[in-house]
Structure 1
């Protein structure tokens, strides 16, 4: 479509109001839009090896893997994640593919739950590690934006000389405020610890 932008702009023009200028603008906008789409596609789908490796625990592929073991998917998983014992993982996967009674559900989390319910976590130790990695969702864009907005509220102009340990502590308190509010006696314990750190001008403790 980008290569045909000039022809598309010429054919879509109706012949009114400065045709040369309108055709040039239309072709330029089309090329810019195509460039944006191409760059986004390359950026978003260039690192898709984790999707290939996740096929190892996709129950819909298990009948196919019984006939032909997914060697390329296993190599991809070992390359991506800290799976040290490749041969043990391969033998566990072969056993898993042949036992359909363990294959409950279609997701990695359901398979992991089934392994724990049948007390097979020691027999499938490497598979459990693989399932935990796949079932762990990465940080979303909204989560990272939330952290940055919290940091902006905490480190203001008046607190510009704040040290890194205190900044990390205040950021954690602000982000996990709901969890902290559920803790019993959190504020009194903080006040007591603060008052016992060193001698202060104010009397926080009454003897």
Structure 2
């Protein structure tokens, strides 16, 4: 998953959830009625008896009770669930959006004015700096983007731009853009892959395999993590290669 693509998908998901909050409950009622008809069940939501709570002080205004069962379900359940989803989406990926703002110049540079382009390039150069040294020069990066030829498409992702650099052999002509694109394309969007890979360890290093050496553990972990590629490997060829390395010639 690429950083710019992930941020764009998250924004679309947020807009979709906001739209679903206004129209989703009505569509859910239609789906529920269809399911009830197939199950030969009456599509009626029973209304529970309203309970009144005793107020300790007379100046407390009692809440208005909702008599309609569907309206109460929409307010107390549907809207709450959707609002929690929207808030969680905004909170969890807030940092990812900030990172995309710094690397967004790599895909938005054709539409930026010169002053804004130089400003964002210098910001990116400061972001990729450590101990006073930066991986790229902001001024030179802006000059490379200003002199970059027209793109084959109006909008391209970082990986598509990186593929274009490799195909047209532009990395020596635009070295700063080449470095910035490689860094942007390798930024992890989520840690799910790393967590999944680390969880494989408890399946490999069990109590019965406590004496396993480090080299064998690394090899088994690589095979287990990259199981899709390992399934394409021919066992016969691997056995023959292993036998050729370990074979010993007998005495003549």
Shorter-chain TM-score above 0.5: yes
Gaps of 5+ in 2: 1-46, 55-62, 64-76
1:78 and 2:126 matched = yes
1:50 and 2:83 matched = no
RMSD: 4.2
Q: Are the aligned partners of 2:121 and 2:142 in contact in 1 as well (CA < 8 Å)? A: no
TM-score normalised over the length of structure 1: 0.61
Give how far 1:115 is off. Answer: 3.1
1:186 to 235, 238, 251: 238
1:131 and 2:181 matched = yes
Give how far 1:159 is off. Answer: 1.1
Separation in structure 1 between the aligned mates of residue 229 and residue 237 of structure 2, nearest angstrom: 13
SS of the residue 1:144 aligns to: helix
| Greater relative CO, 1 or 2 (CA 8 Å, sep 6+) | 2
Q: Are the aligned partners of 1:112 and 1:128 in contact in 2 as well (CA < 8 Å)? A: yes
Give how far 1:128 is off. Answer: 0.3
2:139 to 69, 90, 95: 90
Q: Deviations over 1:31-60 (max 9, x none)?
A: 9x988975764443135332012222114x
Q: Deviations over 1:96-145 (max 9, x none)?
A: 234442x2332222323333444332121111011111123527555235
Q: Deviations over 1:58-84 (max 9, x none)?
A: 14x423233533414532453246782
1:104 and 2:156 matched = no
- Equivalences, count: 180
1:160 and 2:193 matched = no
Query: What aligned pairs does 1:25-36 form with structure 2 within 5 A after superposition?
Result: none
Separation in structure 2 between the aligned mates of residue 147 and residue 163 of structure 1, nearest angstrom: 19
* Structure that is richer in helix per residue: 1
Gaps of 5+ in 1: 1-13, 24-28, 197-204
From the superposition, tell whether residues 68 and 168 of structure 1 become closer, same or farther in structure 2 (CA, over 3 Å): same
From the superposition, tell whether residues 107 and 97 of structure 1 become closer, same or farther in structure 2 (CA, over 3 Å): farther
Q: Are the aligned partners of 2:144 and 2:174 in contact in 1 as well (CA < 8 Å)? A: no
Q: Are the aligned partners of 2:200 and 2:225 in contact in 1 as well (CA < 8 Å)? A: yes
